[in-house]
Amino acid sequence: MTMDTGLRVAAMGLPFAGALVIWRMEARSPRTQRVMVALVLGITGLCALALFLLNRYYACVLAFRQESCLFDGLGTLSLLVWSALLVRGSLTLQGENLGEHFIPMLLFAAGWAGAGVGQNLFLLLVSLNLLLFAIDRWLKARGTSWRFLVLRDGYSDSEQSGRSRRGE
């Protein structure tokens, strides 16, 4: 296994493994969970930075001539930025049951890493599903929901009441 592959696996696997550990240690202290999440996301960000520098993606981002690796460079940079933002968010988050906030945060980082640095169509689809699941859990924890994928059958109460008045 090359260093490139190892860094990709670490960037995708560490947040997912961290979410599993947080899920298993649900009754532990919030401080321990907070430190662990910050450590996992920090290492993920360092893996993204190492991928960006070792694979010379900076040449693709700065010089727009090479389109073949521009998205890989942007994927590693965005993973670095998301990891930094999520570390800051995990350190400032207050409350008693932080696991319900930390697990979607880590799953989001794992999904973003898979979508950004995966280089595999199947892994991209799995990562996008993981991203949608993490966003859904995060919205439900906040008390909101999204309903843009709801299928409707075209039946409405106003049509039925109009028919009953006409005697149909």
Q: pLDDT tens for residues 93-126?
A: 776 666 677 888 888 888 888 887 877 778 778 8
Closest to 123 measured CA to CA, from 132, 115, 131, 135: 115
Alpha carbon distance 14, 19 (integer Å) = 9
Q: Tell me what pLDDT residue 39 has.
A: 93
Beta-carbon count within 10 A of 144 CB: 8
Rounded to 5°, angle at Cα 65 from 61 and 71: 40
φ and ψ at 13, to 5 degrees? -85, -35
Q: Cα-atom radius of gyration of the chain, to the nearest Å?
A: 21
Q: Tell me what pLDDT residue 70 has.
A: 67
Give pTM, 2 decimals. Answer: 0.71
Q: Length of the chain in residues, anyone?
A: 168
Q: Tell me what pLDDT residue 78 has.
A: 85
Q: Tell me what pLDDT residue 132 has.
A: 82
Q: Which residue positions in the chain have pLDDT lower than 50? A: none
Alpha carbon distance 67, 72 (integer Å) = 10
Alpha carbon distance 101, 94 (integer Å) = 10
| Residue spans per domain, the chain | 3-166
φ and ψ at 153, to 5 degrees? -95, 0
Burial-class residue 51 by CB neighbours within 10 Å (0-12, 13-18, 19+): buried
Q: Tell me what pLDDT residue 10 has.
A: 87
Q: Tell me what pLDDT residue 145 has.
A: 67
Q: Tell me what pLDDT residue 46 has.
A: 92
